[in-house]
Amino acid sequence: MKTIWIILLCVLMSAGCYGSPANQNADKREAIAATSAVDQDEGDIISISLDETVNYDDLEIRWLEMMDSRCPTGVQCVWAGEVKVILEATEGGNEPVELQLTWQVRRGSTKATVGGYEMELMDVKPFPSQKVKPHRSDHVAEIKITRAEQ
């Protein structure tokens, strides 16, 4: 009887650790590809580097900061993680607005509206790795921008 409880406990403890790291990373790549492919024909996707400012129509976007808790390549994690991007956006010379876009590996991304624009974080590269720590300037975000429905 004691053996059954030990086996049951081991099964429950390992429930959050499915598959091998290679399988987990394949799942992450599939989730990224699926999220990035949605509604590509509506709106435009811009690329912006950390600390860079880009212009899109009458919108100026500056990437201020990021928090990345995605499970690094080569590591087996219980939680797949997320990446948060803090932006400062200014539309048509108005006061700048600070906003946060979040992309979760299993849930996709959040959206934020600034003036007449809606922004959605599609991806942040490079994907974290256990072996390589990228420089701040190596980070590039892909942000989908569409005209907000009014």
Query: What is the pTM assigned to this prediction?
Result: 0.68
Residue 150: the pLDDT is 57
Give the model's confidence band at 131: pLDDT under 50 very low, under 70 low, under 90 confident, else very high.
Answer: confident
Find, among 45, 55, 69, the residue nearest to 122 by Cα: 45
Residue 111: the pLDDT is 93
pLDDT in tens, 59-97: 999 999 999 999 998 888 888 899 999 999 999 889 999
Residue 49: the pLDDT is 96
Q: Is residue 11 part of a domain?
A: no
Q: Is residue 14 part of a domain?
A: no
- Specify the number of domains making up the chain: 1
- Domain containing residue 86: 19-147
Residue 3: the pLDDT is 62
Residue 28: the pLDDT is 43
Share of the chain above pLDDT 90, in %: 47
Q: Give the bridge partners for 85, in sequence order.
A: 66, 101
Share of the chain above pLDDT 70, in %: 71
Contact partners, residue 116, CB within 8 Å, separation at least 6 = 91, 147, 148, 150
Burial class for 136, CB neighbours closer than 10 Å (0-12, 13-18, 19+) = exposed
Burial class for 144, CB neighbours closer than 10 Å (0-12, 13-18, 19+) = buried
Q: Is residue 2 part of a domain?
A: no
Q: Is residue 10 part of a domain?
A: no
Burial class for 36, CB neighbours closer than 10 Å (0-12, 13-18, 19+) = middle
Q: Is residue 49 part of a domain?
A: yes
- Within the chain, what is the greatest distance between any pair of CA atoms? 72
